[in-house]
Copies of this chain bind each other. A is one copy, B any other.
Amino acid sequence: MPEHRKFEQVTAKAHANIALIKYWGKRDEELFLPMNSSLSVTLDKFYTETSVQFCGKLKKDVFIFNNNIADEAETNKVSNYLNQIRKMAGVERYAMVQSVNHVPTAAGFASSASGYAALASAAVRAIDLDIDQKKLTQVARIGSGSACRSIYGGFVEWTKGDLEDGSDCYARQLENEDYWDLSILAIQLSAEEKSLSSRAGMKLTVDTSPYYELWVKEAGKDLATLKDALRHKDFEQLGQVTESNALKMHATTLGANPPHWYWEPGTISVMNQVRKLRDSGIPAYFTMDAGPNVFVLCQQRDKEVVEQTLLTLKEVQKIYVCQPGPGVSYLAK
């Protein structure tokens, strides 16, 4: 390692994203290579800020999460991830990692995408690894699959690729966050209990659901439809294919052996209310990841009425009104 390296502290900020075409199923568990390409929108309200500094004096990695020393399991996960980055850079220093999460994870919103996007971005720059954005999405991906989409703002496609080594599997921005005035309402439900992690549910579904193979085909078609909707800024087309794609993903879990499902009563309550909103002439569409919470898409002009209507449901605890957010940024010290 060249002696002139300074190993300064680098702080990166990355936003969460919600998939409109879902990532559901891995073709390689080690490299986080997906079975299907996916498409997401980055969210302005939810993000993670992470600082990394590789220090010569440290005897092991230190991970401070939300201002507390993380437990051993969490620290080991971060260490194992940093090992891969150290290997790429040919550096053997341990790191001080400080991460603050602005994603309501206790409420069931996933933070691994913004978490690993911020960690990858900060660590790569702190270790002075000279890679382009495309490669950065791949480095983020090996931390958590969907993290690769959080490198960019706006509308982002994660191309599945075909090669075994994953070199053709990466994320790229289709449109930036200023392209389209959408509102994305993140609906926090009460009393959710996630019975099965998304990682475990995904694997069980790939391994046992008779519907899984068709899901992969459908996801391919839906992706093309959604990209077409983006090009034409056709909100109804975007909403319809988003909702349909989410439901087809959840359908695969019902076919697994044993069957499983991520929905809570409030999930259905929101789904039914969104259907009623549409019946009353307000275009709104929902999507759900592998958990009970629901995201509702609508046009900016309708966001107040959609929010107020959904707040009347007894299972709805809180609503975060988001819009397309930016990609990774680096903060001055």
Contact = CB atoms under 8 A, between A and B. Distances in A.
A108 to B, nearest CB: 15
A266 to B, nearest CB: 7
Q: Which interface residue of A217, A254, A263, A265 has the most chain B CB atoms within 10 A?
A: A265
Interface string A263-280: 111111101100100000
A244 interface: yes
A7 interface: no
A268 B189 CA distance: 14
A104 interface: no
A244 B258 contact: yes
B258 A195 contact: no
Contact of A255 (B248, B265, B268, B275): B248
Interface residues of A, number: 31
A251 B211 contact: yes
Interface in A209-256: 210-211, 214, 217-218, 240, 243-244, 247-248, 250-252, 254-255
A315 interface: yes
A90 interface: no
A248 to B, nearest CB: 5
A254 B268 CA distance: 13
Contact residues of A: prevailing secondary structure? helix
A176 to B, nearest CB: 30
Contacts of A105: none
Interface string A139-155: 00000000000000000
The listed residue with most B CB atoms (<10 A of its CB), out of A252, A271, A272, is A272
Nearest to A266: B265
B259 A243 contact: yes
A223 to B, nearest CB: 15
A266 B210 CA distance: 27
A81 interface: no
B258 A240 contact: yes
A269 B258 CA distance: 19
A240 B257 CA distance: 9
A250 B254 CA distance: 8
A261 interface: yes
A314 to B, nearest CB: 9
A162 to B, nearest CB: 23
A283 to B, nearest CB: 13
Contacts of A218: 210, 255
A261 B271 contact: yes
Contacts of A252: 251
24 contacts: A210-B217, A210-B218, A211-B248, A211-B255, A214-B214, A218-B255, A243-B259, A244-B258, A247-B254, A247-B259, A247-B261, A250-B254, A251-B251, A251-B254, A251-B255, A254-B254, A261-B268, A261-B271, A265-B265, A265-B266, A265-B268, A265-B269, A265-B272, A268-B268
Interface of A: 195, 210-211, 214, 217-218, 240, 243-244, 247-248, 250-252, 254-255, 257-259, 261, 263-269, 271-272, 275, 315
Q: Which 6 A-B pairs have the closest CB atoms?
A: A265-B265, A251-B251, A247-B254, A251-B254, A247-B259, A265-B269
